[in-house]
Amino acid sequence: MPNDVGPEPGLGISFRWTDDYQDANGPDGEIITANLHTPWTIDNLKNFPAAMKGANGRGGGPVIIRAPLPYRHPHKDWLYCTQCDLQGGIGYVDEETSNKSIKFGTPTTLTGLASPNQTATPIAVWSAQWNYLGYDVETDEFKSTRAGNGKELVRFVSRKVKSSLESLPIPGTEWKWTADGNPIHEPTTVLLAMKELEYTWWHVPFPYRESTWDDLLGKVNNATFDGRGRANTGLSYPSYAIGTTYFANYEQGDPFTDPFGNICCHTTFFFLYRRQGWNNFYRPGSGFAAVQSADGAGRYPFPPGDLMTIFD
């Protein structure tokens, strides 16, 4: 079990670990739950959940500020605090009246007596939980204001990938019968392997950037998409080459408030990956080839866009 924690940058509140500490490992990964004690003060009741779970905001501008970020477990730095609930309080006994009570404004130390007539300092009891969230903790930038370049893909985005198939009609005479060499005059169909990419961006702070997202709908990536490093693994997420990833749609969840009162929501973005590229059409006799508008204007069936800016 970890040691007691004193004030430190990014947290600023002392707390005590108790012997109510559990570390469970199952099909859904590792989850640590623990009861923590802090002094019973108005400031602690207000600020401790925020210090443990982190805050999300834009600071009046477009740049996202994640400060502080969720509290990292002191001995397992891949686990972050995802839940912090007040379970109740343990008060002191006034020896003159034998009344048990909890009062605000009492001393903020975890040990020692508040007065000769009080047998203990009142404390707040919290239930906290740590899970794997995959945040990037390799640099100091993790704890600072971020500024674009899709860095939220590293710290606040989860991914799901689903394989799928697309039917591609092929004109007649493209194929022939192997046995006798006669051409097949009727149109045929082949199946192309694709991927459906589902990216969920957690705790997106208000104001949301719908105008940017709407402008990118229906576009394909004009640069390599994703490929960000996986926190604490030395590995990277898959990257998708230029022109292969199509932004299909997005879905916003209901708004909620973080522990600091900032308005947030979870937003899921849906992409379609085609290895051959979206602006490459099937050309009989030679396979897939690049196309553009016949009027010489350089237009493409699927216009390019910087999909990484979705996660700024």
Q: Are 264 and 56 in contact, with CB atoms under 8 Å apart?
A: yes
* Highest-confidence segment of 100-104, 154-158, 244-248, 308-312: 244-248
- pTM for this entry: 0.73
What percent of the chain clears pLDDT 90, i.e. is strictly above it? Answer: 29
pLDDT per residue as tens digits for the range 256-292 = 887 777 788 999 999 999 999 999 998 887 888 999 8
CA dihedral 173, 176, 182, 183 (to 10 degrees): 0
- Copy the structure tokens of residue 269: 């973005």
Q: Are 148 and 137 in contact, with CB atoms under 8 Å apart?
A: no
Collapsing DSSP to helix, strand or coil, 236 comes out as strand
Q: Are 114 and 121 in contact, with CB atoms under 8 Å apart?
A: yes
pLDDT band at 63 (very low <50, low <70, confident <90, very high): low
